[in-house]
Amino acid sequence: MIASVRGEVLDIALDHAVIEAAGVGYRVNATPVTLGALHRGSEARLFTTMIVREDSMTLYGFSDLESKDLFSLLQTVSGVGPRLAMATLAVLEPEALRRALSEGNLTALTRVPGIGKRGAERMVVELRDKVDAVPTTAGVSGAVAANAIRDQIVEALEGLGFPLKQAEQATDSVLAETPGATTSVALRSALSLLGKTR
């Protein structure tokens, strides 16, 4: 099971991106919102769900865990497969989807291509009580961003030849002192801190 892919974005198409991780290019299906945040040649990390069928193995990628969890939850509704779940997330952002399901807003749900009135009613009935169990990323995004910055700095320091433990300690102390620092500022601070200890 491939739970996430991190690497260079090689290609971006209308419904998927190709991300190279450890020398392998993974074709990851994604929503327009997720694809819009990617840039060719830059590094990206997508949380993924792998769907295995008799004739295919398909990766679906998401920029946050909330979307990934909602994708899985949508497929618990009879008649909703991966394509329809992706279409739903392409039309309705996670917050709008939660609201539509909890308020029973059939008009919002039927805006999704492939979902009629009966399908929307089924989704509301089956998911209304379950959707609140999916954790939101609204409050987590800051922590995710901080972790991403930390990982980048530690990786950069390792690349410069510092031992992992030293790199982590320097990064943690810099981020504790200046929590809002950008990656480049925090990296410079960590380097000067490590320079003093050598």
Name the token pair of 122. 């089924």
Task: Give the model confidence (pLDDT) of 157-169 as tens digits.
Answer: 887 888 889 888 8
Name which of 64, 47, 58 is nearest 5 in CA terms.
Answer: 47
The angle, 0 to 180 degrees and rounded to 10, between the axes of the packed helices 94-103 and 65-74 is 40
The answer to whether 137 and 145 have CB atoms below 8 angstroms apart is no
The predicted structure's pLDDT at residue 195: 80
Task: Give the model confidence (pLDDT) of 104-136 as tens digits.
Answer: 999 999 999 999 999 999 999 999 889 888 877
Average of pLDDT values for 3-11?
95
The predicted structure's pLDDT at residue 110: 95
The predicted structure's pLDDT at residue 145: 57
Confidence grade of residue 16 (pLDDT, cut at 50, 70, 90)? very high
Mean pLDDT over each residue of the chain, to the nearest integer: 87
Helix or strand or coil: residue 5? strand
Strand-pairing partners, residue 50, are 59
Using DSSP bridges, classify how beta strands 24-29 and 57-62 pair: parallel, antiparallel or unpaired.
parallel
Does the pLDDT at position 137 exceed 80? no
Q: What is the dihedral of CA 173, 177, 179, 181, to 10 degrees?
A: -90
Task: Give the model confidence (pLDDT) of 73-112 as tens digits.
Answer: 999 999 999 999 999 999 998 989 999 999 999 999 999 9
The predicted structure's pLDDT at residue 141: 47
The predicted structure's pLDDT at residue 70: 95
DSSP class of residue 131 equals G
The answer to whether 123 and 112 have CB atoms below 8 angstroms apart is no
Rounded to two decimals, what is the model's pTM?
0.67
Please say whether the dihedral angle defined by the alpha carbons of residues 120, 125, 126 and 128, taken in this order, is positive or negative: positive
